[in-house]
């Protein structure tokens, strides 16, 4: 087998492969045998008819095409292994010469792991670390008060009252929205919970509920905001029919020692405040760490020179669309519905996300290159420990074998932990 390679732009490689006749003719026999098993020829058992009759039935080109496909599958893998080519994705194949009695010639264009060069970057990382050391992480009195109020609001006691609803009350309502006496899609609800004054509905709606009593019904008209997300309703008036089923007064506990004790593990308010402050500090420190790591990545990408293969960009875009779809599912939506609402296609979405996809790929490449150059590795014990956390979710071996590709999981966990080790190295500079 003769192999010739030629570098192409965008980290692609052209591989021209010539397979000698004496090698690829064996694949013709295998192709004939395989095809004969799938067709019926009178007087012969499946797989036993002579080539001449098979050829007459399906045509010579069908046999040669099938043989060439099997030959290419085998010889392409052998070629990239022999030449130590770090190929990515599926190659684009072009057959150059296909004739019985002659050598088979074909060309394979494949994306390869790009060459990455980096200009000096350590001083930039050191400067980022220095800048962040001068930043003090503090919690203001206002932040403390807001967090304590959130805690108190999460322990609100609801007391049913027989009076007019007022701002701050909770209410349960039935409502229906119409346009020109025609109900709008998804414009009705039963026993819908609403905190009056929360501005959860369009302006003017909650104001109409204030003053209503339990079992009272009301009809009113208000206009949707000009910038409402549904363009069919934006800036247009609509009719609302509302019935109040329940009015409840929200009794928020006073923030004192008794409130702290009611949470279960605090002896007084000061101990609660210490805990809240500690939580806020950890949250701020974690956010600051993420901000710093984002700045690391920005500087590393600036230092990189690399041609990102199209196949990697398309693969990353596919992954991003899948991730976005899962986020939408968590909000009770699906991606097709979202795209229809936004009047976009998947192709539109992917086109918009190309710069982001390229940035994600470069980020991964930069961390991987530093890990290789500095021989930074995650320990096998840590990889195994993290893998076991995932594997423990499955009840038995059959579930595990059915749902988990352990080799893929190993590489994924190894990558995540190695990146974490690289970040820790950068943070020490």
What's the CA gap between 226 and 235, in Å, rounded?
A: 4
Do 8 and 93 reside in the same domain of the chain?
yes
* Residue 265 contacts residue 276 (beta carbons within 8 Å): no
Do 332 and 411 reside in the same domain of the chain?
yes
pLDDT at 86: 84
Q: Residue 243: phi, psi to the nearest 5? A: -125, 130
What's 407's DSSP letter?
H
pLDDT at 219: 95
Query: Which domain CATH number covers 62?
Result: 3.30.70.1050
Do 27 and 100 reside in the same domain of the chain?
yes
What's 264's DSSP letter?
S
Burial zone of 273 (CB within 10 Å; 0-12 exposed, 13-18 middle, 19+ buried): middle
Among positive and negative, which fits the CA dihedral 52, 54, 55, 60?
Answer: negative
Do 16 and 109 reside in the same domain of the chain?
yes
**Of 307, 331, 347, at which residue does a domain stop?**
307
Do 299 and 324 reside in the same domain of the chain?
no
**How many domains is the chain partitioned into structurally?**
4
Could you list the mean pLDDT of each consecutive 10-residue stretch along the chain, which spans 429 residues? 90 93 89 80 68 78 90 93 86 92 94 90 96 91 94 93 95 95 90 93 95 96 90 92 96 94 91 95 95 97 91 88 89 86 88 94 94 93 89 70 76 92 96
Query: Which domain CATH number covers 241?
Result: 3.10.50.40
pLDDT at 395: 67
The string of DSSP codes covering 138-184 is ---HHHHHHHHHHHHHTTPEEEE-SS---TT-EEEEEEEEEETTEEE
pLDDT at 87: 86
Do 6 and 50 reside in the same domain of the chain?
yes
Do 293 and 322 reside in the same domain of the chain?
no
Do 270 and 149 reside in the same domain of the chain?
yes
What's the CA gap between 229 and 202, in Å, rounded?
A: 11
Cβ atoms < 10 Å from Cβ of 224: 20
pLDDT at 232: 86
Q: Residue 20: name the closest of 105, 109, 108 by CA.
A: 105
Do 218 and 282 reside in the same domain of the chain?
no
pLDDT at 398: 65
**Of 251, 273, 296, at which residue does a domain stop?**
251
**Of 113, 143, 171, at which residue does a domain stop?**
113
Do 197 and 286 reside in the same domain of the chain?
no
pLDDT at 57: 77
* Residue 284 contacts residue 137 (beta carbons within 8 Å): yes
Do 203 and 290 reside in the same domain of the chain?
no
- By residue range, what is the domain housing residue 282? 114-155+258-307
pLDDT tens digits, one per residue of 123-173 = 999 999 999 998 888 999 999 999 999 999 999 999 999 999 999 999 999
pLDDT at 1: 87
Do 87 and 23 reside in the same domain of the chain?
yes
């Amino acid at each position: 087998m003769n192999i010739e390679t030629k570098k192409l732009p965008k980290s692609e490689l052209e591989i021209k492969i010539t397979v000698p006749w004496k090698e690829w003719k064996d694949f013709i026999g295998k192709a004939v045998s395989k095809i004969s098993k799938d067709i019926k020829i009178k007087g012969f058992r499946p797989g036993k008819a002579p080539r001449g009759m098979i050829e007459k039935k399906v045509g010579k080109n069908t046999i040669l095409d099938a043989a060439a496909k099997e030959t290419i599958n085998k010889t392409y893998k052998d070629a990239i292994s022999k030449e130590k080519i770090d190929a990515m994705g599926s190659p684009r194949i072009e057959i150059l010469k296909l004739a019985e009695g002659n050598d088979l010639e074909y060309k394979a264009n494949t994306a390869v792991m790009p060459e990455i060069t980096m200009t000096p970057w350590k001083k930039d990382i050191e400067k980022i670390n220095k800048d962040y050391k001068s930043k003090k992480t503090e919690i203001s009195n206002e932040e403390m008060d807001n967090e304590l109020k959130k805690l108190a609001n999460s322990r609100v006691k609801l007391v049913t009252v027989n009076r007019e609803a007022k701002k701050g009350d909770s209410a349960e309502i039935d409502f229906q929205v119409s346009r020109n006496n025609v109900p709008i899609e998804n414009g009705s609800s039963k026993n819908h919970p609403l905190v009056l004054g929360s501005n959860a509905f369009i302006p003017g709606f909650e104001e109409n509920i204030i003053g209503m009593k339990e079992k009272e019904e009301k009809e009113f008209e208000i206009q949707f905001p000009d910038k409402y997300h549904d363009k069919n309703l934006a800036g247009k008036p609509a009719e609302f029919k509302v019935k109040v089923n329940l009015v409840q007064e929200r009794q928020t506990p006073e923030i004192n020692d008794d409130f702290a004790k009611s949470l279960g593990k605090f002896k007084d308010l000061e101990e609660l405040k210490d805990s809240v402050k500690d939580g806020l500090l950890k949250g701020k420190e974690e956010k600051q760490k993420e901000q710093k790591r984002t700045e690391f990545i920005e500087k590393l990408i600036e230092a990189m020179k690399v041609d990102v293969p199209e196949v990697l960009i398309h693969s990353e875009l596919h992954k991003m669309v899948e991730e976005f779809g899962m986020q939408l599912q968590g909000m009770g939506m699906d991606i097709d519905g979202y795209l229809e609402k936004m009047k976009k296609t998947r192709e539109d979405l992917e086109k918009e996300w190309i710069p982001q996809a390229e940035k994600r790929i470069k980020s991964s490449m930069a961390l991987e290159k530093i890990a290789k150059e500095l021989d930074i590795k995650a320990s096998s014990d840590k990889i195994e420990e993290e893998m076991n956390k995932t594997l423990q979710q499955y009840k038995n071996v059959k579930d595990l074998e059915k749902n988990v590709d352990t080799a893929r999981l190993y590489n994924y966990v190894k990558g995540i932990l190695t990146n974490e080790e690289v970040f820790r190295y950068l943070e020490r500079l």
